[in-house]
Structure 1
Amino acid sequence: MYEPDLAPLAGSLPLSALVALVPLAAIFFMLGVLRTKAHWAALAAVAVATGVAVGVYHMPAKLALLSASEGAVFGLFPIMWIVFTAIWVYQLTVVSGRFEDLRRAFQLISDDPRIQAIIIAFCFGGLLEALAGFGAPVAITGVMLLALGFGPLRAATTVLVANTAPVAFGAIAIPIITAGTLTKIPYEEIGAYVGRQSPVLALIVPLLLVFLVDGRRGVRQTWPAALVCGGSFGAAQFASANFISVELTDIVASLAALVVTVAFLQIWRPRGGAEALATLRGERGEDPTDGTSPAGGGSRGSVATVGQRTAARVEITTGRVVMALMPYLVIIAVFSVAKLWEPAKTFLLGQDVKIEWPGLHGQVLTVAGKVSSTTIYTFPWLSSPGTMLLLAGILVTIIYRISPVVAARELVAMAVKLRWAFLTVASVLALAYVMNLSGQTITVGAWIAGTGAAFAFLSPILGWLGTAVTGSDTSANALFATMQQTAAAKAGLDPTLMVAANTSGGVVGKMISPQNLTIAVTAVGQLGKEHVLFRKVIRWSLLMLLGLCLLVFLQSNVLAWMLP
């Protein structure tokens, strides 16, 4: 059996940690500096991680390769399965002709693209994160903003930054429930702590979104609406996490923010919406005066070909609005039944198939000397959010009276368009599994955890790192929650605070994960430009991480009154 050594290089933990970081440095260097396409960067990083595992950690090559194979399969199912079906549902709205109605419906709320970014990317995206998670919000809201006139990379940047504050409570709070299960700390308690950290992000994110859409002018002209949206989301997130339900936190927060923001817009309207829209249209090569694309204009290679806009006003009735929103109402209904109705939830989870990975299970130990459970692959063929989205798509096909042949054709076409995204995400998860099972990730975590009192400041970095590697806050908690708990006890810190910090730190690491970068660029038809998007979002990820580090450090001493 293989048992990881925390310090394989001359017994030096710092030196071993630096070597363990080489695969991550490789992928981010290739993306951010060499501007390599994501699938090549990810494949190269897998090769580097495998070399470190075999050459430095002395993991048998067979086990390293089998670890990569399990990770690759997990990347394809359930992760890319979710993205694949989410974009397919969107495409059904396009071929049905209903998406133009949806665009007009959002314009009834506001035709200001900065407000639309808040409503769609933050509020609606938060609701999708609450129900599905795992990339679905980025995929769906990305193509929605694209269809509303945003440039492809601006749309992708906006939705990645928006997909932060809701992540900790995403997929019915599965990251927090996972942390509670592993640490034996009641997950309600962890959720209450996170509910006093992520609302701070929620207050800031809408302001950041309007800045991304329209710069300083956008902030100056729309800050009241941005603060109302972020404040109502944060307040509802705090209230639900502490007094209502951890599982329902993002549902409550997203709906509250949507209702309050729409109500606020009935009494206050920002200036400069037309200028902001003209800027976006000019960016896409469109005529700012009427929004119609010149020949060859628009975003090439997009997932969906958005219908040409016309200058004529089309009357939008209540019935047309309801039908335009129908796919998303169906998604909410399906996920609500699957996740919140206990009999359905129990039945669906009962269909999961546990597979002991051949040749790997039972051959790898944890640093504690126990047989690793990571080598058991769960095949959630029925309970996966991707399967729920597939069901929603079938219902939408029936409701919209789309020909089954057309729906199937779109499904096949989507698989072809996503082929490089499949390879990228499979490679990223292969990287994560090799690093995790060989002990590289734990070495880095143990190194950071050994900093004593300074650990309160550094704690969110572990969650950020874990989510950046795996693309999942749930996975980051699976990696580091127990380590956070142990390190906190040794340093005389509150273990619940450190576990919550791991969760909160993870939410700002998601936007730089190669997995989510690929999902975003694929959704807006810019596959191969992950390196460009990475350079756009890395600064915001690091800035928000610094803010969280400061917050957690202060909560460990002078701001202890903020905690339950």
Structure 2
Amino acid sequence: MIWTQDYDPLGSLFISTLVALIPIAFFFWALAVKKMKGHIAGLSTVLIAVVISVVAYGMPVGMAVTSTVYGALTGLWPIGWIVINAVFLYKITVKTGQFDIIRSSITTLTDDRRLQVLLIAFSFSGFIEAAAGFGTPVAIAAALLVGLGFKPLYAAGLCMIANTAPVAFGAIGIPVITAAKTTGLAANDIAAVAGLQLGILAVIVPFWVVFAMAGFKGVMEVLPAILVSGLSFGITMWAAATFMGPELPAIIASLVSLVALALFLKVWQPAKVFRFADEAKATIDTKVNYTSGQILKAWSPFIALTGFITLWGIPSVKDALKSFNIAIPVPGLDNLVMKAAPIVAEPTPYAAVYTFDWLAAAGTGILLAALLSMFLVGMSFSQWVSTYFENLRDLTFPLITIACVLGFAYIANYSGMSATLGLAAAKTGGFFPFFAPILGWLGVFLTGSDTSSCALFGNLQKITADQIGVSSTLTVAANATGGVAGKMISPQSLAVAAASTGLVGREAEIFRYTLKHSIGMVLVLSLMTYVMSFMF
């Protein structure tokens, strides 16, 4: 049975748009107002979307259910597979005590609070964002700053502000990969545009966060270090995103920035050491001296990670690994849904092929890095296995949430709801590129995840751009880049930051601290996207 999409099923684009907005509005309400757990909100939203697709859009029940399951499976593989193994690799360093050495190798470089924030909240947090994402970096960096003597509110707020530029490439590029999966655009093309925008933002963020700490005078006192930190991060991110794709930009940029600033601080220190008034007593001993061999061993899992992901990204290797892919046409859905005008010039079948890239998936490369790390750090196989299953248990609900969000994204795409919203958004005309990052910002604010925001709004960005004649790659990338500014005010991020700094119940204080910075950053990205819309 072939079914053709109808983008105005209720005979009024305005009314059809309101109906199509119901699942999204519910999802926002469930998270922001009712404060439901992510997986419960996700499951409820999917059920509402399926009902609307059947009742309002006339989609056959079987197709509605199948497209939702198809999206959920895509959320688990390859996206969930990356998350599982990336977080597992990080946990290996924690379980074996190597993370303490990693932490010490950073904190012994300087006593200046501004420079510690650049090292930990910007560069090091960026590295954890790149490797694990999903709330891990802010939790680690904020707890570390508190341990060094930062007041909890400052620690949480500064980490939220600093951990922005790498977010779109976090967890080995999952947000950009998800945007590509839900829109059909090339991941490398989206990465190149996002890398340009975030490369520029990465140069700005060190100025921004130091200004938030110490004002203009404080910025000028450590200007050389700010330039080293920001330029090394921004230029590297742009180059890696442009020439290597979405998996490695944040990893390489954060490492280059971390090493560059660390080496610079060996030969330069500010004339005046900046400290906060009435600081808490440090709980981390920064006087422990580790040998170069110990430090190298501690960092070896992440060095292995970088090596495997680089190998997996080489075109010839990638093509060889893809030869083992298993492509499964989705029964009851593949080429049975027809796209219609004005989304396409003539009726076009909508493909639905699930690809099980068991060897080519980035998550497999990460798992091999984790396996090698077992030997590098001297972990027993039994502990390695028990840590893996412990990690799976910890990620159960986040994985359900990811599956639900992707399930909703796919039912919205196959039913035509996304197209309805896109046609409505196209009414903003040539000004839409300015609002594209704001849409991503709102998505992350309410879902806590740039990945989820890209899944929810990626296709909407594409459809709208196609309707108004601007680059869909630009607007989809802008959804991911705008989302990085929403991370610092997301309720889920606020909860993570509060929990890791002992501020549970005081999330509103962190929110008030970061809100103005979040709005400022997304406006910068909106202006950047609007200008770029004339170039692409």
Q: Same fold (TM over 0.5)?
A: yes
* Residues 184 and 23 of structure 1: CA distance in aligned 2, closer, same or farther (over 3 Å): closer
The answer to whether the 8 A contact 1:167-1:473 is kept is no
Tell me, in whole angstroms, the C-alpha distance in 1 between the residues paired with 2:393 and 2:102.
Answer: 26
In the alignment, residue 36 of structure 1 is paired with which amino acid? Answer: M
Query: 2:348 is matched with which residue?
Result: 370
Tell me, in whole angstroms, the C-alpha distance in 2 between the residues paired with 1:354 and 1:64.
Answer: 21
Query: 1:283 is matched with which residue?
Result: none
Query: 2:144 is matched with which residue?
Result: 148
1:503 Cα offset (Å):
0.7
Tell me, in whole angstroms, the C-alpha distance in 1 between the residues paired with 2:425 and 2:505.
Answer: 29
Query: 1:552 is matched with which residue?
Result: 529
* Residues 482 and 410 of structure 1: CA distance in aligned 2, closer, same or farther (over 3 Å): closer
Tell me, in whole angstroms, the C-alpha distance in 1 between the residues paired with 2:337 and 2:51.
Answer: 17
Query: 1:381 is matched with which residue?
Result: 358
SS of structure 1 residue aligned to 2:366: helix
* Residues 42 and 485 of structure 1: CA distance in aligned 2, closer, same or farther (over 3 Å): closer
Query: 1:487 is matched with which residue?
Result: 467
Query: 1:24 is matched with which residue?
Result: 24
Structure 1 range deviating more: 546-555 or 93-102 = 546-555
Tell me, in whole angstroms, the C-alpha distance in 2 between the residues paired with 1:406 and 1:389.
Answer: 18
Tell me, in whole angstroms, the C-alpha distance in 2 between the residues paired with 1:523 and 1:80.
Answer: 23
In the alignment, residue 317 of structure 2 is paired with which amino acid? Answer: A
Which of 411, 414, 429 aligns to 2:391? It is 414
1:318 Cα offset (Å):
0.9
In the alignment, residue 479 of structure 1 is paired with which amino acid? Answer: N
1:328 Cα offset (Å):
0.8
1:361 Cα offset (Å):
2.3
Query: 1:451 is matched with which residue?
Result: 428
Partner deviation per Cα, 1:384-405 (whole Å, 9 max, x = no partner):
2222221111111112221111
Tell me, in whole angstroms, the C-alpha distance in 2 between the residues paired with 1:186 and 1:76.
Answer: 18
Partner deviation per Cα, 1:215-248 (whole Å, 9 max, x = no partner):
5448864573445423443345556778x77777
Q: Which runs of 5+ in 2 are unaligned?
A: none
User: Which residues in structure 2 correspond to 1:317-466 (within 5 Å)?
Assistant: 317-340=291-314, 342-367=315-340, 368=344, 369-373=347-351, 375-461=352-438
The answer to whether the 8 A contact 1:81-1:386 is kept is yes
Tell me, in whole angstroms, the C-alpha distance in 2 between the residues paired with 1:99 and 1:176.
Answer: 28
Tell me, in whole angstroms, the C-alpha distance in 1 between the residues paired with 2:153 and 2:174.
Answer: 29
Partner deviation per Cα, 1:248-303 (whole Å, 9 max, x = no partner):
76566445533443344341348666548x85xxxxxxxx3351xxxxxxxxxxxx
Tell me, in whole angstroms, the C-alpha distance in 2 between the residues paired with 1:356 and 1:273.
Answer: 60
The answer to whether the 8 A contact 2:175-2:450 is kept is no
1:322 Cα offset (Å):
0.7
Query: 2:451 is matched with which residue?
Result: 471
Tell me, in whole angstroms, the C-alpha distance in 2 between the residues paired with 1:217 and 1:437.
Answer: 51
The answer to whether the 8 A contact 2:168-2:483 is kept is no
Tell me, in whole angstroms, the C-alpha distance in 2 between the residues paired with 1:191 and 1:431.
Answer: 24
Tell me, in whole angstroms, the C-alpha distance in 2 between the residues paired with 1:403 and 1:327.
Answer: 15
Query: 1:106 is matched with which residue?
Result: 106
Query: 2:8 is matched with which residue?
Result: 7
The answer to whether the 8 A contact 2:113-2:274 is kept is yes
* Residues 129 and 522 of structure 1: CA distance in aligned 2, closer, same or farther (over 3 Å): closer
Partner deviation per Cα, 1:71-93 (whole Å, 9 max, x = no partner):
22222222222222222222221
The answer to whether the 8 A contact 2:125-2:138 is kept is no
Partner deviation per Cα, 1:469-498 (whole Å, 9 max, x = no partner):
871687579625653553343xxxxx34x6
1:141 Cα offset (Å):
3.2
SS of structure 2 residue aligned to 1:354: strand
Query: 2:71 is matched with which residue?
Result: 71
The answer to whether the 8 A contact 1:472-1:510 is kept is no
1:364 Cα offset (Å):
2.1
Structure 1 range deviating more: 170-179 or 219-228 = 170-179
* Residues 385 and 47 of structure 1: CA distance in aligned 2, closer, same or farther (over 3 Å): same
Tell me, in whole angstroms, the C-alpha distance in 1 between the residues paired with 2:35 and 2:305.
Answer: 36
Tell me, in whole angstroms, the C-alpha distance in 1 between the residues paired with 2:394 and 2:184.
Answer: 41
Tell me, in whole angstroms, the C-alpha distance in 2 between the residues paired with 1:530 and 1:124.
Answer: 27
Tell me, in whole angstroms, the C-alpha distance in 1 between the residues paired with 2:479 and 2:107.
Answer: 35
* Residues 249 and 46 of structure 1: CA distance in aligned 2, closer, same or farther (over 3 Å): closer
The answer to whether the 8 A contact 1:463-1:480 is kept is no
Name the % identity: 32
Tell me, in whole angstroms, the C-alpha distance in 2 between the residues paired with 1:74 and 1:184.
Answer: 16
CA RMSD of the aligned region, Å? 4.4
The answer to whether the 8 A contact 1:93-1:99 is kept is yes
Query: 2:46 is matched with which residue?
Result: 46
Alignment TM-score, normalising by the size of structure 2: 0.78
The answer to whether the 8 A contact 2:425-2:464 is kept is no
Aligned residue-pair number: 511
In the alignment, residue 396 of structure 1 is paired with which amino acid? Answer: S
* Residues 338 and 245 of structure 1: CA distance in aligned 2, closer, same or farther (over 3 Å): closer
Partner deviation per Cα, 1:164-185 (whole Å, 9 max, x = no partner):
4345667589949987998999
* Residues 349 and 123 of structure 1: CA distance in aligned 2, closer, same or farther (over 3 Å): farther
Structure 1 range deviating more: 325-334 or 153-162 = 153-162
In the alignment, residue 439 of structure 1 is paired with which amino acid? Answer: G
In the alignment, residue 141 of structure 2 is paired with which amino acid? Answer: L
Query: 1:294 is matched with which residue?
Result: none
1:39 Cα offset (Å):
1.7
SS of structure 2 residue aligned to 1:450: helix
Alignment TM-score, normalising by the size of structure 1: 0.75
Tell me, in whole angstroms, the C-alpha distance in 1 between the residues paired with 2:46 and 2:272.
Answer: 49
User: Which residues in structure 2 correspond to 1:196-215 (within 5 Å)?
Assistant: 197-209=197-209
Tell me, in whole angstroms, the C-alpha distance in 2 between the residues paired with 1:383 and 1:246.
Answer: 15
1:370 Cα offset (Å):
2.0
SS of structure 2 residue aligned to 1:508: helix
